[in-house]
Each structure stands twice: as structure tokens, then as C-alpha cells.
Amino acid sequence: MSSYRKGSLSLIGAIGLGTGVMISAGIFALLGQVAELAGAWFPLMFLTGGLVAACSAYSYIRLSHAYPSAGGIGMFLVKAYGKGTAAAAASLLMAISMVINQSLVARTFGTYTLQLFEGAADWLVPALGAGLLIGALLINLAGNRFIQSFTSAISLLKIAGLLVFVAAGLLAAGFVWTPAEGGAATGDAGPLGAIASIALTILAFKGFTTITNSGAEIVRPRRNIGLAILIAIAISLAVYLLLAWTVSSSLPLDRIIAAKDYALAEAARPALGDWGVWLTVAVAIVATVSGMIASVFAVSRMLAMLTEMKLIPHRHFRMPGTVQQHTLVYTVALALLLTILLDLSRIASMGAILYLVMDMMVHWGLLRRLRGEVSANTGIVVCALVLDGLVLAAFTWYKLLHDPLIVAAAGLSILLVFLGERFFLRRGAGRGEPSPHHEDH
């Protein structure tokens, strides 16, 4: 595709793209949910999730060094599993998990915006989220240069705003971290809940895959993809830990859980009053807008690549424009549906399950099929695979006990993706080699 231009994303632009996705719903929506599962020591779960994400990122960095590609994860999976059902289904699971993240961002945008209006109707949450999705669709039509400039600048702005919140909160707490305690809504805390909560914190870091999917478009990809991923994870981890510390020191655990969908706004009240709430909401709006733009950009690129490789079906429906513009429309349409149908907790749960399944397939593919072609430390890859499996098992078991419907929905989605891809490819639509536009020659 002509829109894939080598060297169109700088290192700073790639970092901004990654942090733009990560520091969005990742902290604003998930912090309270993590506290609900892990209890008083929830800030440590973000540290653990960051370490697991960094371990997982190693596989993507090594694969990016060997195969810098605008196809990113899709190309890695084809290299590992061949152009068949496994690669196509895992790639589609990744794309769907990214769309699910967009609906998470959209509902977070709506939830925080409504904190400015007392007594606002609940239906405004998905309505505002839908407006954000449509706005992101329009902005993405402007192309790479605008997106990297926009996300880089807005990432700095939202980090600065969050640091103001952190400084005020920690100043009020005397810069002493005390675990959040108190309230009756703490019964779920325990080893299973703590391990399960790591799945949500991993979800908060999965935005680094946005960088991977930009591939050869990044300047000096073999050097800068890995560097951008590590810097983006480090920045996000630092921001997450500071925010979790601030919230933990500002509110008792029962209030954090009660306000789990807008915990940061609630935590701003003790130190800054209404002004703090307004500041936090403003930063949340900035963060979710930038995250949405970056995420829509990334998933549409991935779907366009899979379409060119003939790994997924595509219909124009008489729409004008390129394949990528069509996938932009499909991406936003699915995210709109999820935003309307699911609440924040279920959106996050489904996204975590699908992402971890795909992540494990990437590690397994590198470990069992590409060790001869890709230089990688086997111990780190095995560690990433085992950690993903442990976290996925704990999270699935926890959800089976507390919300079995979402586990069934995730399992059915995975089954339908694999069966659908098998049917599509067996009809012969997936024959041929990957498009040369996605190779780094």
C-alpha cells in the first residue's frame, strides 16, 4: 500500500505512539479494577505487570530486529506458523483485542467526562464514547505525519498534567506511601485475586505493540523499534506507579473500589477539591483522545496488512478509498458496538484474555519455530510464556467464579475466530505469498 512509507515515523514519534495508547484507559479505568482484585497492595501489581510486559516485549523486540515490517505482529506469526489458520487467527485475536481496548478507552472518556456534570444520565457514557470513536476515525484520515506529531505533543501534555496531580496528592499525604485500607469491600483480596489482577496491569502496557505494528515505517527500525518499546514501557511504568501511590495514599480501599471506573478523579478531591477533579477529568480527556487516535491508527494498519496477505476476508461495500480506509471504518464500527453493549469491567476482562492468548502464541512461535532464524535468549522467552500462562489461568479461574459469562464470551470468540479463519483459508483465499509492501528488503 502506498500509505506504508519507510522512515515516516521518528523515534520520538514511535515513543509518543506507544505511550499515547498506554497512558489512556490503561490507568484511568484499570486502577480501580486492579484494587478490587488485589486489595491494599495494588500499586505493586502495576510494578509486577510492568516487569511481565517488559519480559514479553523481549520477544517482540527480537522479532522486530529480524523482521522489521509494517505488518508487525501479523508478519511475525506468519513467519512462525506459516500462512495458515494459526497465524491468521492469532493475528485477528490481536486486532480484536486492540478494538476492545478502543471501546475501553471510549467508555473511560465518557465516564470521566460525566464527572463534570452531577446527576448526568448513564446513557451519556456510551454516547460520548461513540463521539470520540467517530472523531478518531476522522483524524486518522489525515495520515502518519499528523498522527505522530499530535500523539507526541499530547503525550507530553497529559504526562505533565498527571504529574501535577501526583505532586499535589503526595504533598497532601506527606510523601509517605501507606497501603490503602478500610471498608468492607475488600473480601476479594487474596493470592488468586492478586495474580489475576496482573492480567489487567499487563493490559495497561499492551500499547507497546502499537510500535511493533508500525515496523519498517520507523526510522532505523532494527535499532529504534526496540528502543522505542523499552522507553515507552519505562515511561508508562513510572507514571502508573506514581499514580497508584498517590491514589493509595489519598483514599481508603473501599472508596477506591466504589469509584473504580473513575478512581483518579475521586482521589483528587481530598487534596485539591473540585479543582482537582476538573484537572483530572481534563487530563483523562486528553489521554483518552490521544490513546484512541493512536489505537485506531495501529489496528487499521494491521487489518489492512492482513487483508493484503489474504489472511482475512474483505468487502468494500461500495465504499471509496483504500483498503486501510475501509479497515478504519470496520475498526470503529466494531468498537462502537462493544462500547454500547459492555461495561468497563467486562471490556477489560475480554481484552485481557484475548491478548494473553495471542501473546503466548507469539512466544511459542519464537521458541519452537524461529530459534534458528531469530537470535533470542531462550530463558527469557520461556519465562515470558510461563508468566503469561500463570496469569491467564489465574484470571480465567477468578472470572469463572465471579463472572462466568465473560469467560464464555471470550472462549466463544476465540473459537469462532479459529473456525472462521480455517473455513476462509480452506476455501483458497489465503494462497500466495505475503505482500512485498510489508517486507523490509
C-alpha cell at 412: 466463544
**Strand blocks (E) in 188-316:** none
**143 DSSP 8-state letter:** -
In terms of Cα–Cα distance, which of 320, 39, 25 is closest to 197? Answer: 39
In terms of Cα–Cα distance, which of 261, 265, 259 is closest to 165? Answer: 265
In terms of Cα–Cα distance, which of 68, 56, 74 is closest to 299? Answer: 74
Using H for helix, E for strand and C for coil, what is the string for 342-354? CCHHHHHHHHHHH
Instruction: Answer for the pair 349, 406: CB distance below 8 angstroms, yes or no.
Output: yes
Within-domain flag for 3: no
Within-domain flag for 406: yes
Within-domain flag for 198: yes
At residue 231, what are phi and psi to the nearest 5 degrees? -65, -40
Kindly list the distances between the CA atom of residue 339 and the CA atoms of 68, 123, 189, 295, 327, in Å, as whole numbers in the listed order: 33, 11, 28, 15, 18
Within-domain flag for 143: yes
At residue 218, what are phi and psi to the nearest 5 degrees? -80, 140
Within-domain flag for 2: no
**Strand blocks (E) in 194-341:** none
Alpha-carbon span 242 to 245, nearest angstrom: 5
C-alpha cell at 424: 476462509
In terms of Cα–Cα distance, which of 87, 125, 95, 123 is closest to 310? Answer: 87
Domain tally, the chain: 1
DSSP three-state, residue 193 = helix
Residue numbers of the domain that contains 363: 11-428
Alpha-carbon span 97 to 89, nearest angstrom: 12
C-alpha cell at 441: 528488503
CATH of the domain at 319: 1.20.1740.10
Within-domain flag for 68: yes
Within-domain flag for 433: no
Would you write out the chain's pLDDT as a tens digit for each of its 441 residues? 445 566 667 888 888 778 877 876 668 888 889 999 998 889 999 999 999 999 999 999 998 888 876 567 888 898 889 888 999 999 899 889 889 988 988 998 999 999 888 778 888 999 999 999 998 888 777 655 555 556 666 767 777 777 887 887 777 666 666 666 655 444 455 889 999 999 999 988 988 887 887 766 788 888 888 899 999 999 999 989 988 888 888 888 888 888 888 888 888 887 778 887 888 888 888 888 877 877 787 778 778 878 887 888 877 666 766 777 788 888 899 999 999 988 888 899 999 999 999 999 999 999 887 777 888 899 999 999 999 999 999 999 999 999 999 999 999 999 999 999 999 888 865 444 444 333 333
In terms of Cα–Cα distance, which of 247, 216, 213, 212 is closest to 230? Answer: 212
2, burial (CB in 10 Å: exposed 0-12, middle 13-18, buried 19+): exposed
Kindly list the distances between the CA atom of residue 329 and the CA atoms of 20, 322, 421, in Å, as whole numbers in the listed order: 21, 11, 21
**441 DSSP 8-state letter:** -
Pseudo-torsion of CA 221, 224, 228, 234, nearest 10°? 140
Q: Residues 6 or more apart from 400 whose CB is under 8 A from it? A: 407
| Neighbouring-strand partners of residue 218 | 9
Within-domain flag for 301: yes
